[in-house]
Copies of this chain bind each other. A is one copy, B any other.
Amino acid sequence: MVTRKVSIADIGERAGLSITTVSRVLNGKAEQYRIGKKSQQKIKEAAEELEYIPNYFASNLKSGKSRTIAIIVPSLTNPFFAGFASEINSEVRRFGYISIIGDSDENNETEKLELQQMVSRNIEGLIIAPCGNQFEHLKKLYEQGLPIVCIDRYFEHLDIPYVSTDNYDGAVTATKHLIENGHSLITCIQGIQQSTPNLLRIKGFKDAMEDAGIKSYNVVGDDFTIQNGYLETKLLLQQKEIPTAIFTLSNTIAMGCIKALKENNIRIPQDVSVITYDDHQYLDFLETPITCIAQPVSDISKIAIKFLFSRLSNDENRTKQVLLKPEIKIKKSVRKIN
């Protein structure tokens, strides 16, 4: 900025009052410090006229409070996570906070670097969908006192709060839906293998299969990306025996899968049925709307924010871990077979 900024000193001068008084009025502590009505009025007017904009850096330096929350998601271009970012971003502002958004690009090192940067900005809290199964850096920060809430992905054996969905339940529901529609030759394309949601989804898948007496099934893949979905599907299609249904463990995997199927002229659901974890807007616009296990993004975001701010205000330490019920949204990608 070229023009010098207006400081509370300028306001004080104009109003004929001290810096301290200005600070108190502008911070809503007028009552607490018994500042007279007239003085309050004068200060507010002066601030208005001078178009005062507080300098957060100065106030943070003094107070140690940055009024900043960090959000880290694995990929902003994934509409599922963009949804989280957007929701949380606007929710945070309602508390007078601001958020800085980081994109870890599904890369642990990037995640750490982002986090470092953010910590040096004195973030007061962090909402993160961790990209991998590494958690040391998070654990350390959490133990140092940084409030953290994990969303979507989390770590079962740590006491870092999280808000996610019941991944096991969702996977069971999805698998049962396929089985009820007559499928038994099912392949599951998974994401990052050691991540908690993935483990639980796989467990749900396996349990549902075995409960139905189906002993043989395939689990392939290793990443929550379009490429992984595409590649694994391409490989699948080269096998002698093509499954009648595919269960993809994320919307990105689903997109890759669909692309591969389309390239090979395999129709959904006539030739292969598809069901996926995660919903998003664009899933409805596809050639065949894809049946999915939808996570309540908005609810998760709001609860996560609530956890974070209750921790920030009450300094309440009780670890909160919540799993919401996912919902199956039946669209048109699963065919009933004999």
Q: Which residues of A contact B (CB under 8 A)?
A: 1-3, 53-58, 60-61, 66, 75-77, 79, 82-83, 85-86, 89-90, 93, 98-103, 105, 114, 116-122, 144-146, 255, 258-259, 262, 281-282, 284-288
Partner of A98, one of B1, B103, B117, B262: B117
A191–B77 Cα distance when bound, in Å, is 23
Residues of B within 8 A of A55 (CB): 61, 120, 122
A89 to chain B, nearest CB (A): 6
A145 near B2 (CB under 8 angstroms)? yes
Partner of A54, one of B105, B120, B284: B120
A80 to chain B, nearest CB (A): 10
A120 to chain B, nearest CB (A): 5
A121 with B56, Cβ < 8 A, contacts A89-B101, A258-B285, A285-B255 known: yes
Residues of B within 8 A of A259 (CB): 284-285
B1 near A144 (CB under 8 angstroms)? yes
Residues of B within 8 A of A105 (CB): 90
A57–B56 Cα distance when bound, in Å, is 8
A322–B57 Cα distance when bound, in Å, is 34
Residues of B within 8 A of A100 (CB): 98-101
In the complex formed, the residue of B with least CB distance to A121 is B56
Can you identify 29 A-B contacts, CB atoms within 8 angstroms?
A1-B144, A2-B144, A3-B144, A3-B145, A53-B119, A53-B120, A56-B57, A56-B122, A57-B60, A61-B61, A76-B76, A76-B89, A77-B83, A77-B86, A79-B82, A79-B282, A82-B82, A85-B101, A90-B103, A93-B117, A98-B100, A98-B117, A98-B118, A255-B281, A255-B285, A262-B285, A282-B285, A285-B286, A285-B287
Partner of A61, one of B57, B101, B116, B262: B57
Q: Please name the 5 residue pairs, one residue from A and one from B, whose CB atoms are nearest each other, closest first.
A: A2-B145, A287-B287, A76-B86, A282-B282, A82-B82
In the complex formed, the residue of B with least CB distance to A290 is B285
Residues of B within 8 A of A287 (CB): 285-288
A158 to chain B, nearest CB (A): 18
A82 with B77, Cβ < 8 A, contacts A101-B101, A285-B255, A287-B286 known: yes
Residues of B within 8 A of A89 (CB): 76, 101-103
Given contacts A57-B57, A89-B102, A255-B282, 14 further A-B contacts (CB under 8 A): A2-B145, A53-B119, A55-B122, A75-B86, A76-B82, A77-B79, A77-B281, A98-B117, A98-B118, A99-B101, A100-B100, A258-B285, A285-B286, A286-B287
Residues of B within 8 A of A258 (CB): 285
Residues of B within 8 A of A286 (CB): 285-287
In the complex formed, the residue of B with least CB distance to A71 is B101
Residues of B within 8 A of A61 (CB): 55, 57-58, 61
